[in-house]
Amino acid sequence: MFVSLLYKKRSFFGLLEVYNMSDKPVLAEPKNMFEEFLKTMIEIDASDLHLVHNNPVTFRVHKKIVKTQKFIRGNDIFKLLIESKAIDDYQINNFHELKSANFAVTFSGVRFRGNLSQARGEYTLVIRRLSDKAIPLHKIGLPEQVVETIKRDTGLILVTGPTGSGKTTTLTSLIDYVNKNMSVHIATAEDPIEFVHRSSENSIITQREVGSDTPSFSAALKDVLRRDPDVILIGEMRELETIENGIIASSTGHIVFCTLHTNTCADSIDRLVSVFPVMQQQNIRSQLSSNIRMIINQRLIPKIGGGVVPAYEVLFPNKEIRKAIKEDRIEDIEELMEKYKGDGNILLKDAVQQLKDQGLVDTNTVY
């Protein structure tokens, strides 16, 4: 059997000799094959692990795909998760119903997020390594104006970008700052919980995971307003009811953080509006024009010499931008951001150019 064969020899990836292991932390001994994969991810500094039926075990290291010489079967992928108890009955049932399940696990103090799905009738699994500590907000490269914005007592803050752009890291830093520097109750709904926050001396934080703590994002949002929150985190706004409740919460004396998979700040507004029936869209535009406090859109750009560095597009709506949102002139937002750079607005092209000027990324980098 593939799994038992791999478990007998830790050098099966043929990767450990390639990477310098001398400066790596001492890790816990794996109790099963799944933890063996997680340990190897930490040792070779991989951001992702891909397990696909009849394909090589594959890692992503510093944005590059690295394939091993060992193949895996779909059934063995599922067995890895069952034998390690990485997924529970809820997630198994969710997979059988939706052909997809999200989960999170911790190994040797490091948090990982997983997605089990189906491709051509076979199991496929992607594991992402999450940051094991919150990066201080002042160190992730966002403008100082962000701090003043999150100190407000109401409004909607969106952290957006494509998959793998570092949204989780940014959101973790934002919530960590609020937790440590404000006297508030932070209530979250996440799928899954990716970073475990601890209540600070100033604040209380309660994190609920969809599936184990609440049946859905929309159900969590219905409950949350009865739980005396000041700050609300929605892991992702996916469906109409969640978006609607999130907008309502942001207009009733709460700061609401959420993430979206979009490519620009302007796209984020379009995405939220497009979920609603046409007859409701103008009302939603009107609410968004009043409630949005900030939109962050980001990319991770390969650095010269290895690693990645974030590039941020940031929108701070002023009177004219709010008017453009309300009047469905989304195509004008980029031009208005350019016009009102003095208000703190940053376009992604300018952020990337600044990284080039600083010598951090290649001058031929495109985004």
CATH assignment of the domain containing 262: 3.40.50.300
CATH number, position 115:
3.30.450.90
pTM: 0.79
Q: What spatial distance separates the first Cα and last Cα of the chain, rounded to whole Å? A: 43
240 and 333 within one domain:
yes
In a domain, 122, yes or no: yes
Q: Rounded to an integer, what distance in angstroms lies between the CA atom of residue 13 and that of residue 10?
A: 8
Residue 143 burial (10 A CB sphere; 0-12, 13-18, 19+): middle
* Count of structural domains within the chain: 2
Per-residue pLDDT, 292: 97
Q: Range of 9's domain?
A: 2-129
Q: End of a domain among 95, 129, 163?
A: 129
Flag whether pLDDT at 345 surpasses 70.
yes
Q: How does pLDDT run across 78-137, given as a tens digit for each residue?
A: 999 999 999 988 889 889 988 998 899 999 989 999 999 999 999 999 999 987 788 999
Q: Rounded to an integer, what distance in angstroms lies between the CA atom of residue 348 and that of residue 44?
A: 31
| 256, 162, 272, 241: CA torsion to nearest 10 | -70
Q: Rounded to an integer, what distance in angstroms lies between the CA atom of residue 137 and that of residue 174?
A: 6
Q: End of a domain among 79, 99, 129?
A: 129
154 and 255 within one domain:
yes
Flag whether pLDDT at 9 surpasses 70.
no
Chain centroid offset of residue 195 CA: 10
Which residue from 88, 82, 86, 136 is spatially nearest to 111, judged by alpha carbons?
86
Q: Rounded to an integer, what distance in angstroms lies between the CA atom of residue 276 and that of residue 283?
A: 10
Per-residue pLDDT, 12: 46
349 and 207 within one domain:
yes
Q: How does pLDDT run across 184-196, given as a tens digit for each residue?
A: 999 999 988 888 8
142 and 125 within one domain:
no
Radius of gyration of the chain (CA): 22
In a domain, 364, yes or no: no
337 and 278 within one domain:
yes
Q: How does pLDDT run across 15-37, given as a tens digit for each residue?
A: 544 445 445 567 888 889 999 99
In a domain, 363, yes or no: no
- Quick one: pLDDT band at residue 210, thresholds 50, 70, 90? confident
pLDDT, averaged across the chain:
89
Structure tokens at 288: 């968004």
193 and 104 within one domain:
no
